[in-house]
Amino acid sequence: MSVRLTRRDAGQSTQRTAVTLLRTCALALVATFGIVHAAHAASAEEIKARGYLSVATEDDYTPFEFVADGKNTGYDNDLLALVRKKIGVDVKQQVMPWSGILPGVTTGKYDMALTAVLVTEERKKTFDFATPTCEAITFYATKKGSPIKSPDDLVGKVVGAETGSAMLADLKLFDEQLKKKHGGNGIKQIVEYQSYPEAYQDLGVGRVDAVANTQISLNSLVKTRPDTFAVGQAIGKPTYIAWAVKKGNTDVLKMVDAALLELRKSGEMYQLQQKWLGASYKDMPQSVN
């Protein structure tokens, strides 16, 4: 993160500038110590003492988390409603854009990212994951009638994905594969978006040629707008989606894992998968860490 400092008027005194610098340094120190303090992962005893688990959730990622008729809904929200009944403490849910969720967990502001986090080897360095909530694989979508018929047809095209997402990482990796296969020719431009609805809007009006996202999400998109969009083919490898905690936060992980594994055993998780994702994933591993 960068900080922009505004130049003072030339007529101001050196003394006033020095005071300003001192104040700036003091604020920076306060911010630094605040971050260090916030980085502490709450223990089970602390969570029980305060009476709630703090989680961050997106609200613009259909079918996992989105708003319908003014209400937060989707697969993860339905799953959370069942988890609330089992963990013994309240759950305080903060809804925010995807870009702020994982940083909020790493600094300790939130106990868990209760959202559709794609499990990757890179993320495992920073996070531990609850038992997976579904399987996932990165596909691309196009406008209906697009000349893009195979992944190789993405050479020379403009493709969008959400900034900071694992699907963006998959897209960049696939671009490198295209370049090796096609003599240095790959995707013309990768456009990053703050949210997928923005990307879909640009796809619809032709600003991008394709959008990379999970097959589940793209199937949901096409289901709601079948006359506009079409799902292409896979450009990533199969992986899993899971809720995330700061690495080493075993207390929160055990608390939530116990609830999720009960929901798998009872079949309630698989019923929600069928309802929201159109498939059930009964062969998922218990742990992806």
Question: What pLDDT does 60 receive?
Answer: 87
Query: Are 78 and 208 within one domain?
Result: no
Query: Which CATH number does the domain housing residue 197 bear?
Result: 3.40.190.10
Q: Is 86 a domain residue?
A: yes
Confidence band of 62 (pLDDT split at 50, 70, 90) = confident
- CA dihedral (92, 93, 98, 101) in degrees, to 10, reads 10
For the segment 148-168, what is each residue's pLDDT rounded down to a tens digit?
999 999 999 999 999 988 899
Q: From CA 236, how far away is CA 33, in angstroms rounded?
A: 40
Structure tokens at 190: 């990768």
Query: Are 74 and 215 within one domain?
Result: no
Question: What pLDDT does 39 receive?
Answer: 53
Query: Are 142 and 174 within one domain?
Result: yes
Q: Report the pLDDT averaged over residues 259-264.
A: 97
Query: Are 128 and 246 within one domain?
Result: yes
Question: What pLDDT does 268 receive?
Answer: 97
**Which 3 state secondary structure label does DSSP give 63?**
coil
Return the percentage of the chain with pLDDT > 90, whole number.
Answer: 71
Residue labelled with tokens 């961050």? 56
Confidence band of 88 (pLDDT split at 50, 70, 90) = confident
Query: Are 122 and 82 within one domain?
Result: yes
Question: What pLDDT does 51 receive?
Answer: 87
Listed in sequence order, the residues at least 6 apart from 108 whose beta carbon sits closer than 8 Å to its beta carbon are 37, 38, 39, 40, 41, 42, 246
For the segment 177-213, what is each residue's pLDDT rounded down to a tens digit?
999 999 999 999 999 999 999 999 999 999 999 999 9
Q: Is 253 a domain residue?
A: yes
pTM over 0.85, yes/no: no
Q: Is 50 a domain residue?
A: yes
State which of 217, 234, 251 marks the end of a domain.
Answer: 234
Query: Are 210 and 145 within one domain?
Result: yes
- CA dihedral (95, 202, 279, 272) in degrees, to 10, reads 20
Residue labelled with tokens 């708003």? 67
Question: What pLDDT does 40 receive?
Answer: 61
Structure tokens at 216: 């589940």
Whether 2 shows a pLDDT value over 80: the answer reads no
Does 28 or 115 have the greater pLDDT score? Answer: 115
Confidence band of 48 (pLDDT split at 50, 70, 90) = confident
Q: From CA 226, how far away is CA 231, in angstroms rounded?
A: 10
Q: Is 220 a domain residue?
A: yes
Q: From CA 268, how far away is CA 93, in angstroms rounded?
A: 22
Query: Are 204 and 250 within one domain?
Result: no
- Candidates 160, 151, 153, 135; CA nearest to 233 is 151
Q: Which domain does 67 fall in, by range?
A: 44-135+241-277
Query: Are 92 and 127 within one domain?
Result: yes
Query: Are 225 and 254 within one domain?
Result: no
Q: Report the pLDDT averaged over residues 234-242.
A: 92
- Candidates 2, 12, 81; CA nearest to 269 is 81
Q: Is 88 a domain residue?
A: yes
Structure tokens at 226: 């079948």
Instruction: Look at the chain and report how many structural domains it folds into.
Output: 2
Query: Are 118 and 153 within one domain?
Result: no
Query: Which residues share a beta bridge with 143?
Result: 229
Query: Are 179 and 225 within one domain?
Result: yes
Query: Are 229 and 210 within one domain?
Result: yes
Whether 34 shows a pLDDT value over 70: the answer reads no
Does 104 or 60 have the greater pLDDT score? Answer: 104
